[in-house]
Chains A and B, each alone.
Chain A
Amino acid sequence: MKFFNLIPNQTNFDFIGKFKYFFLFSVIALAAVIWGTSTRGLNYGVDFTGGAVIQARFKSAKTAEDVRKIVTELGEEEASVVALGSENTDYLITARKHGTKEEDARNPLNQRLSQKMGSDVQIMSVDVVGPKVGADLKKAAMLSLLYSVILITVYIWLRFDFRFAPGATIAMIHDLVMATGFYLLTGREFTITAIAALLTIAGYSVNDTIVIYDRVREMYKLGGNALPLPETINKAINLTLSRTILTATLTLLSVVPIAIFCTGEIQSFAMAMTFGIFVGIYSTVYIASPFTIYVAKFMERKEQNRSSSRPVKAKA
């Protein structure tokens, strides 16, 4: 029987051997992202910072500078003003503060704008998030990431082997940080939807890891301990390689149109996903699997030490 194949059946790449270089690369990349996030900071959306995002249509054409002046007069000095379309009438105004005067907090920017401009401005869409809501959301989002990672780790530990859990967890955290790096690097707004993207990327990454682990588990069941663990894992990666690439291709096929044709948050989501799919494959093959081998070797050595030290003790 002949199959339509993109990937040859009997590949035998050495994925594990070059672990050190990839590990070093990842550590540097992760450090860069963490450093960047703490110094430059993410471009948090109003979901998290609180503030107002307004899409306004002015009756007469205005330059961005005009609009910024109007908004500044309303007490929002650091608002960003972006023109939408080529007519110079539609603008996207993002204000992170809640005005300068005390009563501004109760009177969001869109109302102040309408009060000032009257019928000269038409508010097309508004997003106003109070500062407390923003802080609450940030906390909830962070917690949901944390709990997901913990629960998935526990699950892998229960379903597979104690030795397998750390590798999967490291890969998951690796992907979460890298995907955050995507938002850091592109400067795209980090919103609630970004959290959904991070979690999905982590989910896919775990999915990939599980497929390989599942192969390892199967090989052990079938052939006993014919091969040492590093070789077994390497073989499992090679055996599942076609599936890994196929699934990635299929997911890309469904995500890339969204990245191209949609706008706003959904587009960011799809772009982050596209990035995350590559990172996910990379981390599964080059991070999770080698790391698992190291953990296994480390435990073996410990085991040997214990069993070899015991007789000595007994003699003494």
Chain B
Amino acid sequence: MKGLRPRIFTVFATFLFSIYLLIPSWIRFTTGKSVPQIVRAEDPWYYSYLPSETLKLGLDLMGGLHLVLGIDFEEVHRDSATKLKNDIKNLLEAEKIEGITLDTSANNRILAKFTSEEQWKKADKLIGERYGQVIDYEGQSGNEARLKMNALYESEVNNRAVEQSLETLRNRIDEFGIAEPIITRQGDDKIMVQFPGIQEPGRLKDIISRTAKLSFQIVRSGPGVSDPQAKPEQLQKWISDFKQEKKIVTDVANPITKHLRDLNQYLAGKIPAGTELLFHKEANINTREIEYTPYLLEKDALVTGEDLQDARYSYDSQTNLPEVTFQLTPVGATKFEKATGANVGKLMAIVLDSNVHSAPHIREKIAGGNARIEMGSSGRSADELLKEAKDTSLVLRSGALPAKLQFLEERVVGPSLGGDAIRAGTISLAMGLLFVFIFMVIYYRTSGLIATVALALNGLFILSIMAAFEGTLTLPGLAGITLTLGMAVDANVLIFEHMREELVHGKSLIYAISEGYSRAFTAIFDAHITTIIAGIVLLSFGYGPIRGFAVTLLIGLVASLYTSVFVTRVIYDYFVVSKNKQTIGI
């Protein structure tokens, strides 16, 4: 048989290489240490010759928290409509087109009210030139034109929102200090997060779900200021009207802040254009009850969290209570200085996630770009306040989410459960394999042993390829391995049965081997391909556990073609050709 030496070499090379790929995983599972990507001085010398990729165990095998998060796209669209509106406003100001007021509607349309048709024509042309790619003209009624974001831009906005959320989540989780989280996109609009080993999801979920949107907005009406169109008393009356009309009873579990969106929709047209109603939350010192004070704010912020450079927690020098101090970027600081200079004497609300934290007086223009948020007392202990200050500074530092994240799926797997599952899984897998080995050796003798060696190699290859690609081994993944091993055994059974047939007809061993392989190959090939087709379909449609199954199935099938056909043939050829054996147990 020609070319036996290179084939033997190939088998040994692949065998050794897969052992090499599995060394880091072996180190990790036995010592708990992992081989770093950049080797440090204190590491053993051989670390620099090893890959850093290891096999990972899925949550079902080691316990942990699994979350699937969705994004509130409604909020994203509202924000991007507002941003577009502001861009257009700036554009019109720069081009000195006057007499047009812009606003956004509840269904995210940009409304342009104009006084003269001529000015609007000019503006419309300009908007068409600059924003034609993203904005569609929807219609006009009287002297009000409606513009809307087009579908292409909307999907672009959605995509960006998911990307930004991923980025922000990575930053936050990184700062929170969790080892080896998995944060990936799932489908078009979801995010999958896995934290191995995490059992207490409370605080982590809290950090994930905070939007961390910071803004500085001018107060139009509230304690200390009064707008003739919306006096504080009037605000209170509107709120109680709203509650009556919508039959909402507020209590501790159902505060008015839960209905902010509905409330602002209800107030549209009543409150002055370009304003919104938010609340300040504070515990009454005497009654200890939490009170919500309404503030009417200008929607357009002086500065937002986008201009934030850094945020830290510290203690107020006078009250010694925890607070968050932050620093704006140079650009943000200039903006802030200009805006505060133009609004001296007014109140400026510091708003974090639609909650008015404080609303200090602007006494003079503020330079330098330093500011702070007090945590308020709200009748909480110093410990709780400090925790809030820490978490708030963390979420501010790691950036805002484009919108609130919704928890669509949540799975916590206890470590004991994982332990039991892993034991049962391993034992039954090992038993199954052992039975197959014994059966093969009894039934096919030496040939059965050859097939068994090939099977063991197959398992080794699956694990090493998984390790090389940092694959995650899950329980369904183990099932996938079992099944491919079944397919691999079947391939050998097919070959052996063909060989037996030839031998029964009195053919020589060499002839029987060669015929056995070539006759069985078509069936083996077709069977593998059809299962590979099913595996690919699973991989492209499936989620989570299904994917784990499909990945091991696919890797295993490819490995099976190699081991059960190529490797076993090399072993046969070695014995028959090199060792010149005339018979072999089959």
Instruction: List residues of A whose CB falls within 8 A of some B CB.
Output: 1, 3-4, 6, 9, 55, 103, 106, 108, 110, 123-130, 132-133, 136-137, 140-141, 143-144, 147-148, 151-152, 155-156, 159, 192-193, 195-196, 199-200, 202-204, 206-207, 210-211, 214-215, 217-218, 239-240, 242-243, 246-247, 249-251, 253-258, 260-266, 269-270
Q: Is the CB of A250 within 8 A of B486?
A: yes
Contacting residues, chain B, for A269 (C-beta < 8 A): 476, 479
Q: In whole angstroms, how far apart are the Cα atoms of A193 and B431 in the complex?
A: 22
Q: Is the CB of B425 within 8 A of A262?
A: yes
Q: Can you offer 27 A-B residue contacts whose CB atoms are under 8 A?
A: A3-B500, A4-B443, A6-B443, A108-B410, A130-B408, A130-B409, A132-B70, A136-B187, A148-B533, A155-B526, A155-B529, A155-B530, A156-B530, A203-B531, A243-B494, A246-B497, A247-B486, A250-B493, A253-B436, A254-B435, A255-B482, A257-B435, A258-B425, A258-B429, A265-B475, A269-B476, A269-B479
Is B424 interfacial (CB 8 A cutoff)? yes
Is B432 interfacial (CB 8 A cutoff)? yes
Q: How far is the CB of A231 from chain B (nearest CB, A)?
A: 19
With A199-B534, A207-B487 as contacts: A128 and B527 at CB distance below 8 Å? no
Q: Is the CB of B417 within 8 A of A214?
A: no
Q: In whole angstroms, how far apart are the Cα atoms of A263 and B418 in the complex?
A: 12
Is B580 interfacial (CB 8 A cutoff)? no
Contacting residues, chain B, for A255 (C-beta < 8 A): 432, 482, 486
Secondary structure dominating the interface of A: helix
In the complex, how many residues of chain B place their beta carbon closer than 8 angstroms to a beta carbon of chain A? Answer: 74
- Which residues in chain B, 383-412, are within 8 Å of chain A measured between CB atoms? 406-412
Q: How far is the CB of B489 from chain A (nearest CB, A)?
A: 5
Q: In whole angstroms, how far apart are the Cα atoms of A93 and B231 in the complex?
A: 52
Q: Is the CB of B432 within 8 A of A254?
A: yes
Q: Which 3 A-B pairs have the closest CB atoms?
A: A254-B432, A214-B523, A144-B541
Contacting residues, chain B, for A254 (C-beta < 8 A): 432-433, 435-436, 482, 485-486
Q: How far is the CB of B197 from chain A (nearest CB, A)?
A: 14
Contacting residues, chain A, for B411 (C-beta < 8 A): 125-128
With A4-B445, A258-B428 as contacts: A125 and B414 at CB distance below 8 Å? yes
Q: How far is the CB of A169 from chain B (nearest CB, A)?
A: 12
Nearest B residue to A199, CB-CB? B534
Contacting residues, chain A, for B485 (C-beta < 8 A): 254
Q: In whole angstroms, how far apart are the Cα atoms of A214 and B586 in the complex?
A: 23
Nearest B residue to A124, CB-CB? B414
Q: Is the CB of A124 within 8 A of B537?
A: no
Is B511 interfacial (CB 8 A cutoff)? no
Q: Which among A147, A152, A217, A250 is the interface contact of B541 at CB below 8 angstroms?
A: A147
Q: Which among B253, B424, B490 is the interface contact of A247 at CB below 8 angstroms?
A: B490
Contacting residues, chain B, for A144 (C-beta < 8 A): 537-538, 540-542
Q: In whole angstroms, how far apart are the Cα atoms of A256 and B476 in the complex?
A: 16
Contacting residues, chain A, for B486 (C-beta < 8 A): 204, 247, 250-251, 254-255
Q: Which among B427, B435, B533 is the interface contact of A155 at CB below 8 angstroms?
A: B533
Is B504 interfacial (CB 8 A cutoff)? yes
Contacting residues, chain A, for B359 (C-beta < 8 A): none
Contacting residues, chain A, for B436 (C-beta < 8 A): 250, 253-254
Q: Is the CB of A125 within 8 A of B541?
A: no
Contacting residues, chain A, for B583 (C-beta < 8 A): 1
Q: Is the CB of B546 within 8 A of A246?
A: no
Most chain B CB neighbours (cut-off 10 Å) among A1, A148, A159, A253: A253
Secondary structure dominating the interface of B: helix
Q: In whole angstroms, how far apart are the Cα atoms of A110 and B330 in the complex?
A: 46
Contacting residues, chain B, for A110 (C-beta < 8 A): 410, 412
Contacting residues, chain A, for B538 (C-beta < 8 A): 144, 148, 196, 199
Contacting residues, chain B, for A9 (C-beta < 8 A): 504
Q: In whole angstroms, how far apart are the Cα atoms of A255 and B482 in the complex?
A: 8
What total of A-B pairs shows CB separation below 8 Å? Answer: 208
Q: Is the CB of A218 within 8 A of B519?
A: yes
Instruction: List residues of B whose CB falls within 8 A of some A CB.
Output: 68, 70, 187, 190, 253-254, 258, 406-414, 416-417, 421, 424-425, 427-429, 431-433, 435-436, 439-440, 442-445, 475-476, 479, 482-483, 485-487, 489-490, 493-494, 497, 500-501, 503-504, 519, 522-523, 526-527, 529-531, 533-534, 537-538, 540-546, 549, 583, 586
Q: How far is the CB of A12 from chain B (nearest CB, A)?
A: 16
Q: Is the CB of B408 within 8 A of A132?
A: yes
With A130-B70, A148-B534 as contacts: A253 and B541 at CB distance below 8 Å? no
Q: Which among A137, A206, A207, A258 is the interface contact of B432 at CB below 8 angstroms?
A: A258
Nearest B residue to A256, CB-CB? B432
Q: Is the CB of B500 within 8 A of A128?
A: no
Contacting residues, chain A, for B519 (C-beta < 8 A): 218
Q: Is the CB of A196 within 8 A of B258?
A: no
Q: Is the CB of B527 within 8 A of A207?
A: yes
Q: In whole angstroms, how far apart are the Cα atoms of A3 and B501 in the complex?
A: 11
Known pairs A206-B530, A210-B523, A255-B432; list 19 more (Cβ under 8 Å): A9-B504, A55-B414, A106-B406, A110-B412, A141-B542, A148-B537, A148-B538, A155-B530, A156-B526, A193-B476, A193-B545, A207-B527, A215-B523, A239-B501, A247-B490, A250-B439, A253-B439, A261-B431, A265-B475
Q: How far is the CB of A166 from chain B (nearest CB, A)?
A: 15
Contacting residues, chain A, for B439 (C-beta < 8 A): 249-250, 253
Contacting residues, chain B, for A195 (C-beta < 8 A): 542, 546
With A4-B445, A125-B417 as contacts: A192 and B479 at CB distance below 8 Å? no
Contacting residues, chain A, for B504 (C-beta < 8 A): 1, 9
Contacting residues, chain A, for B421 (C-beta < 8 A): 262-264, 266
Contacting residues, chain B, for A4 (C-beta < 8 A): 442-445
Contacting residues, chain B, for A263 (C-beta < 8 A): 421, 424
Contacting residues, chain A, for B445 (C-beta < 8 A): 4
Q: How far is the CB of A125 from chain B (nearest CB, A)?
A: 5
Q: In whole angstroms, how far apart are the Cα atoms of A256 and B435 in the complex?
A: 10
Contacting residues, chain A, for B544 (C-beta < 8 A): 192
Q: In whole angstroms, how far apart are the Cα atoms of A113 and B501 in the complex?
A: 66
Q: In whole angstroms, how far apart are the Cα atoms of A254 and B458 in the complex?
A: 15
Contacting residues, chain B, for A6 (C-beta < 8 A): 443
With A126-B410, A199-B534, A207-B490 as contacts: A143 and B433 at CB distance below 8 Å? no
Q: How far is the CB of A134 from chain B (nearest CB, A)?
A: 9
Q: In whole angstroms, how far apart are the Cα atoms of A258 and B435 in the complex?
A: 12
Q: Is the CB of B432 within 8 A of A257?
A: yes
